[in-house]
Amino acid sequence: MSGRKGLSKGRGRPSPGAAAALAGVPVTVGQQVQCDIIGLTHDGEGVGRYEGYTLFVRGALPEERVLAEVVNVGKSFGRARLARLEKASKDRTQPPCAIYDACGGCQLQHLDYAAQLRWKRQHVVSSLERIGKLKVAEAGGEGVLVHPVIGMDEPWRYRNKAQVPIGYGEAGLIGGFYEQGSNAVVDMDACLITQEENESLVRAVKATARELGISAYNRATGRGLLRHVVVRHARATGQRMVVLVTNGLDIPHVDVWIGLIREQVPGLVSVCQNVNTASTPVVMGDVTRTLWGEDVIYDEIGGIRFAISPRSFFQVNPEQTEKLYRAAVGYAALSGDETVVDAYCGIGTITLFLARYARRVYGVEIVPEAIEDARRNALLNDIRNAEFEVGAAEVVMPKWQSAGVSPDVIVVDPPRKGCDPALIRTMLELRPERIVYVSCDPSTLARDLRLLEDGGYRTVEVQPVDMFPHTGHVECVILMVRNG
């Protein structure tokens, strides 16, 4: 932030009727108040208190005292910008990113990395206790064991994929990230959490698009061609892919454009187009085609090779993904005789890890293209004890059970919203010995663990992994065992 040199400009927008006071609320929009910061929200905002009223102050850290200017007021809480830092935390550090104040990609660069890891563990603990009503073990005591977060030795330049929105600026077509709390595009030529290979590929696409007069999509009017640039870099093979997300099928000067990009980008093996004409914030549409080169690129995690297509879900931090999956395999405690079901299997990443240690693994996923990728990846690695099926896990798993498949271990890796309630019921009916839950959201994790505990399981231990340094996100692997 600019304020992380002096202090923050803040990103809040005053609400309509800004000056009006709410009954019982001790602040009004535009008022500057001194408040003490007592915590952080799940997305890294400082939690401040003023006369018993809660203010969320972006850029403020626990144990700090700040002068905050109120920008939004509600009955229960408000938001404020950091006007002046009056007492700094010992964990505050100078963000190295030049556009950190404007960009919404990171939330915690101003917090020392070791402190980030401590906060992320506490975030997990708080969610388990507050939402899941679980007892977390204190040193040597009874309860759920929550390990320290596994961090990175070098917590920069880790993302192997970037989705860059395109817009207009003073110099014409720009591309970068959305400003915090808005749809305004902040131009970006360097991102310290993105692999440099992707950074240079985005620069090449933008420069050549400007050279050829390619129009940028305007979200307000629905006109313009280029909406997003999606780039991938496979660290194990060096291969690179670019996906041009366009508002329509026809691309002017497409062959010239591809040639210009190829001249500037060594290692580029695939140029694809995705067509998205919908007026929604969803990045990709349903139509994808290869304009030049290969349909996929290849990468590896833990010695397993994966084919990655333009719309494949593939973890963006391969170094930490291997640690996450090894923790999952460890909690599954496989001897080679077990049957394992992997719900939400995606392109088979965890499934194929598990297959090396189990007798048989079954993966289920509702996205047909992901299952096609999973089957292809099994063949690619000559893994013959893995079976994949398209469908909702809560529908497919009972069908497998009727066919004689009785899982010893069920692994779930749901999206941020957590497990579907029907899947929770299905797991409780199948009663595996162990459930290994891989989570990207401590709140929905805690909710689901409570349901599984009430259904006859016990949460044993939790291993948090920092997949996204300098952001508010934390992933966890959890071991649950059946009571009795």
Q: Enumerate residues 6+ apart whose C-beta is below 8 A from 385.
A: 355, 358, 359, 360, 361
- 220 is in which domain, residue-wise? 161-301
3-state SS, 34-94, equals: EEEEEEECCCCEEEEEECCEEEEEECCCCCCEEEEEEEEECCCEEEEEEEEEEECCCCECC
User: Does 45 fall in a domain?
Assistant: yes
3-state SS, 170-239, equals: CCEEEEEEEECCCCCEEECCCCCCECHHHHHHHHHHHHHHHHHCCCECECCCCECCEEEEEEEECCCCCC
* Chain centroid, CA 372 distance in Å: 23
DSSP H or E segment with residue 450? helix 442-454
Residue in 65, 93, 71, 66 with CA at minimum distance from that of residue 1: 93
CATH number (domain holding residue 228): 2.40.50.1070
Residue in 275, 186, 277 with CA at minimum distance from that of residue 230: 275
Verify that 234 and 376 share a domain, yes or no: no
**For each successive 10 residues of the chain (484 residues), what is the average pLDDT?**
37 44 86 95 92 94 96 94 96 93 88 97 96 91 95 96 92 86 84 93 96 93 95 96 97 97 95 95 93 96 94 91 96 96 94 96 93 95 97 93 94 94 95 97 97 97 97 96 92
Question: Which pTM does this prediction carry?
Answer: 0.89
In degrees and rounded to multiples of 5, residue 246 shows phi and psi of -120, 155
CATH number (domain holding residue 66): 2.40.50.140
Verify that 16 and 75 share a domain, yes or no: yes
- Residues β-bridged to residue 229: 164, 244
Verify that 62 and 8 share a domain, yes or no: yes
Contact between 240 and 233 under an 8 Å Cβ cutoff? The reply is yes
Verify that 461 and 348 share a domain, yes or no: yes
User: Does 62 fall in a domain?
Assistant: yes
Verify that 234 and 169 share a domain, yes or no: yes
Catalytic annotation on 440?
yes
Verify that 338 and 274 share a domain, yes or no: no
Q: Quote the pLDDT of residue 8.
A: 40
In degrees and rounded to multiples of 5, residue 459 shows phi and psi of -80, 120
DSSP 237-265: T--EEEEEEESSS--TTHHHHHHHHHHH-
* 107/438 Cα distance (integer angstroms): 23
240 C-beta neighbours (distance < 10 Å), count? 24
Query: Pick from 22, 55, 87: which residue ends a domain?
Result: 87
Q: Quote the pLDDT of residue 189.
A: 87
Query: Pick from 87, 102, 127: which residue ends a domain?
Result: 87
Q: Quote the pLDDT of residue 21.
A: 66
* Chain centroid, CA 434 distance in Å: 26
Which of 103, 106, 440, 476 is catalytic? The answer is 440
User: Does 387 fall in a domain?
Assistant: yes
* 348/387 Cα distance (integer angstroms): 10
Report the domain count for the chain.
3
In degrees and rounded to multiples of 5, residue 145 shows phi and psi of -85, 115
CATH number (domain holding residue 393): 3.40.50.150
Q: Quote the pLDDT of residue 6.
A: 37
Distance set, CA 52 to CA 100, 184, 325, 425 (Å): 31, 34, 44, 41
Residue in 65, 154, 60 with CA at minimum distance from that of residue 107: 60
Q: Quote the pLDDT of residue 20.
A: 52
Q: Quote the pLDDT of residue 178.
A: 85
Q: Enumerate residues 6+ apart whose C-beta is below 8 A from 388.
A: 345, 348, 351, 362, 363, 364, 365, 371, 374, 375, 378
